[in-house]
Structure 1
Amino acid sequence: MHAATRPALAVIAHGSRDPRHAATVDALCARVRALRPGLRVEAGYLDFDAPSVPRLLERLDAEGVRDVVALPLLLGRAFHAKSDIPAVLGETTARLPRLDVRQAGVLGPHPLLLQALERRLREAGSAPDRRHSTGVVLASAGSSDPEAIAVIAQTAREWRRTAGWCAVRPAFASASLPRTADAVRGLRADGVERVAVAPYVIAPGRLPDRIRAGALEAGADVLAPVLGASEELAAVLALRYDEAAADRRPVALSA
């Protein structure tokens, strides 16, 4: 698809009072622009940061954009992907009849996200030759959605199967159990020699800080940084955009 005819990409982020969140989103958008030269990539936020999603779509419409892929900056399909984002897109596009907006799929699960987790653990000092004696806590933000929790558990199982860690266990910063500290202690109680905590979150903020506090409290040996603007994460954004842009079937957006 020629750059001039491709839909614009609106990355839909949650937003945060922590300025590191928006800075990470900006860096990810810049990486996607580098991967897809000529593609218009903008970010909009559900809360806290500007522009809001409605303001972003209104601006694109006013500038003559007619086709937009709205891509949730989410690792899993929970409340925001199933309810919040469709609702705000549906309400806004009802007021902008010239604008065609389709919602792309969430980022995870995807093998590239496991590669990004591996990269962050290496950067934090996890030794590849000690995988057989290292257990990993896959620490996500958490959700009350059973589907989202099941996907995190499956991601942990797949990571252990493909990477060779002696254990990979999920933990959650909110809404679900166990918490990060309890997962670290559980691995220790099971005789795991070394424990690494891998935050399965995109940007810094309140919940990642809670993951960090739990890892430190329980004495984890390695604490990786968040996924951030990694090249793997940017590649998944570009792939999800490509999938949505290629699917020209009508998409119903509703609350």
Structure 2
Amino acid sequence: MSGAASLPLVAVAHGSRDPRSSACVRELTRTVRTAAPDIEVRTAFLDLSEPKVTDVLAGLHAEGHEGAVVVPLLLGSAFHARVDLPALVEQVTATAPRFRVSVSDVLGIDQGLEEVAIDRLAETGTDLTDPGLGVVLAAVGSSNSAANDAVVRLARRWQARHSVAGVAPAFASTSPGVPAAIARLRARGARRFAVASWFLAPGLLPDRIAALAGDVDPRIPIAAPLGAEPRVADLVLRRYHQVTSSAVRTA
């Protein structure tokens, strides 16, 4: 086996105690595999779900692969991307020094993903030309302010593009939360509300967002997560090819 283009793609999600989350990730990797049948595609998780990324990488090494490209299925570059994942990769490469593992950029804020999120919101019947509408852009949230700031900038971009009263970020695991975001939108003149989802898969945190929105008004439409969508799979492959094409250029 030779050449960077032949390296397996290991799609690594965070993992969740909610089985809907891992099922969605597996469906996404099947979509990636269908779009690129010439690439070996494996599913892995950082924690809480199986198989663990260390086991998948060790298994690829045992099968005789020269290396792998890890694509983090993460929408922000925070602790899991900057610390957890590199440490887990190092666990494997420390015992198999000739096994080359490259880690791509996270999925991040990408135009294709933005379009998917907007489509998910539109599927709820939300009218993004309604000047009385306030949109809550819900995301996981992080202790890393830069990761949260990226969502804040995304909310500002949506507000500039759409004829609504406002778009405000809200986070499941840090502040501002959903009630604070809705209060901010009310102050901007919003009288109707909808929640957009900046989550990859269903799970406990999206459910928390939905419950908090429902406490304010049970009629608030809640968009579905991005899910196993071909445009998401396309971005996974673009992240993979960014790594493999760079390896070819520097070889």
- What is the TM-score with the length of structure 1 in the denominator? 0.91
Per-residue deviation, 1:206: 1.5
In the TM superposition, what whole-angstrom CA distance separates every residue of 1:45-65 from its partner, at most 9, and x where no partner exists? 111211111110111111111
- Code of the aligned partner of 2:94: A
Q: Does the alignment pair 1:21 with 2:25? A: no
* Among 195, 207, 210, the residue aligned to 1:209: 207
- Code of the aligned partner of 1:13: A
Alpha-carbon contact 1:66-1:98 (below 8 Å) kept = yes
Per-residue deviation, 1:97: 2.2
Per-residue deviation, 1:193: 2.8
In the aligned structure 2, how far is the partner of 1:191 from the partner of 1:165?
10
In the TM superposition, what whole-angstrom CA distance separates every residue of 1:216-253 from its partner, at most 9, and x where no partner exists? 11116321111111222222111111111111189xxx
Alpha-carbon contact 2:167-2:185 (below 8 Å) kept = no
Q: Does the alignment pair 1:195 with 2:168? A: no
- Residue 179 of structure 2 is matched in structure 1 by 181
In the aligned structure 1, how far is the partner of 2:4 from the partner of 2:83?
31
In the aligned structure 1, how far is the partner of 2:61 from the partner of 2:163?
49
Alpha-carbon contact 2:138-2:170 (below 8 Å) kept = yes
In the aligned structure 2, how far is the partner of 1:240 from the partner of 1:19?
26
Per-residue deviation, 1:3: 9.8
In the TM superposition, what whole-angstrom CA distance separates every residue of 1:125-173 from its partner, at most 9, and x where no partner exists? 2124x34332211111110101111111111112222344331111111
Alpha-carbon contact 1:16-1:22 (below 8 Å) kept = yes
Q: Does the alignment pair 1:50 with 2:50? A: yes
Q: Does the alignment pair 1:89 with 2:89? A: yes
Instruction: Map 1:22-171; keep pairs closer than 5 Å.
Output: 22-128=22-128, 130-171=129-170
Alpha-carbon contact 1:197-1:224 (below 8 Å) kept = yes
Larger deviation: 13-22 or 212-221? 212-221
Alpha-carbon contact 1:185-1:218 (below 8 Å) kept = no
- Code of the aligned partner of 1:192: A
Identity over aligned pairs, percent: 39
Give the alignment's Cα RMSD to 1 decimal: 2.1
Alpha-carbon contact 1:203-1:227 (below 8 Å) kept = yes
- Residue 244 of structure 1 is matched in structure 2 by 243
- Residue 253 of structure 1 is matched in structure 2 by none
Per-residue deviation, 1:108: 1.1
1:5–1:148 distance in 2 versus 1, CA, 3 Å: closer
- What is the TM-score with the length of structure 2 in the denominator? 0.92
Per-residue deviation, 1:12: 1.0
